[in-house]
Amino acid sequence: MSTPPTPASDPERFKSGQRETWSDVADGWRKWWRIFEAGAQPLSDRMVMLAGVGPGARVLDVATGIGEPALTAARAAGARGSVLGTDLAPRMIALADERARELGLANAKFRELDAERLDVPAASFDAALSRWGVMLMMDPLAALRGMHRALVPGGRAVAAVWGAKGTVPFMTLPGDVAQREIDLPPMPPDLPGPLKLGRPGQLAELLREAGFERVEEERFETVLAFASPSEYSAFLQDLSATLRRALAEHSVEARERVWRGVEREAEAWRDTSGRIVFRNEVRIARGVRGA
């Protein structure tokens, strides 16, 4: 089995791998959007509120995926405002653009851009957002510094990441099953990944290091609910780039074993409504660019 590239061994190959994997799952994000966003929309609303986005605001969204929180910000900024959503994966950007057009949000534009080299004009945005993006980057500090540079003095940045291991059950269940079923090694702690910046205070610390002032962090809860264990498993298979990468070199049989195990263990999350319900921790940090 070949060793996957790590940021340290080959940063460019690692990044192009990320670009491809995220483009591969973009249609999955589109397919499952309604279910995901039923849980995730309140986070976009909270972020847009914390960033003070109102009519006329110019907003930057970094690692927007198929367009959140960019599209929520576009609604709040109104026709006089504007939103630029950016992402590494071209297919994500294409779908974000398509959704903006479907929703009639002409003030939202999307551009393929690496967040670690955020090539946007300095001091040209009132708010900068990033939902579930920075923890996936090799150099999250570079991304946050880029957001800082992009803001006008007094502009606000708001970033959100998943909480630490043990607080995000919908995400860790399949990895735990895969470790048991097929001996999948745990994610090396030095690699970027979904739970990488989730320790309380960690994201706030990075914002301070990036130059932000008046930094505050808060806990948020994202509830994801599925009609059945098989719906949950199908959702993960279509949508999780991290899992897809981790399982890519295993046999079809091994992968089947993992997904059957996931469905079995998901039963433990069935609540009184009969649905499979996961309550997941999110850390939101915000900071202001000083004068």
Ligand X SMILES: C[S@@+](CC[C@H](N)C(=O)[O-])C[C@H]1O[C@@H](n2cnc3c(N)ncnc32)[C@H](O)[C@@H]1O
Alpha-carbon distance 86 to 130, whole Å?
Answer: 10
Counting contacts by CB under 6 A, is residue 242 touching ligand X? no
Alpha-carbon distance 205 to 202, whole Å?
Answer: 5
Counting contacts by CB under 6 A, is residue 88 touching ligand X? yes
**Among candidate residues 117, 125, 141, the one with its CA nearest the CA of residue 61:** 125
Alpha-carbon distance 223 to 277, whole Å?
Answer: 7
Closer to ligand X by Cβ: residue 16 or 179: 16
Among 48, 51, 76, 92, binds ligand X (CB under 6 A): 92
Which x/- pattern over 170-209 shows residues binding ligand X (rule: CB under 6 A)? Answer: ----------------------------------------
Cβ contact 107:77 at 8 Å: yes
Closer to ligand X by Cβ: residue 7 or 200: 7
Q: How far is the CB of 98 from ligand X (least distance, A)?
A: 15
Counting contacts by CB under 6 A, is residue 18 touching ligand X? yes
Which x/- pattern over 115-154 shows residues binding ligand X (rule: CB under 6 A)? Answer: xx--------------xxx--xx-----------------
Alpha-carbon distance 179 to 174, whole Å?
Answer: 9
Which x/- pattern over 56-85 shows residues binding ligand X (rule: CB under 6 A)? Answer: -------xxx--x-----------------
Among 59, 83, 114, 206, binds ligand X (CB under 6 A): 114
Q: Which two tokens stand for residue 156?
A: 């606000």
Please identify which residue in the block is written with the tokens 């397919």: 31
Q: Could you check whether the bond before residue 69 is cis, i.e. omega within 30 degrees of 0?
A: yes
Q: Which helix (H) or strand (E) holds 180?
A: helix 169-182
Counting contacts by CB under 6 A, is residue 87 touching ligand X? yes
Closer to ligand X by Cβ: residue 92 or 288: 92
Backbone conformation region of residue 274, classed left if phi is above 0, alpha if psi is from -120 to 50, else beta: left
Counting contacts by CB under 6 A, is residue 226 touching ligand X? no
Q: Could you check whether the bond before residue 188 is cis, i.e. omega within 30 degrees of 0?
A: no
Identity of the amino acid at 139: D
Q: Which of residues 23-62 bind ligand X (CB under 6 A)?
A: none
Provide the binding-site residues for ligand X, judged by CB under 6 A: 18, 22, 63-65, 68, 87-89, 92, 114-116, 131-133, 136-137
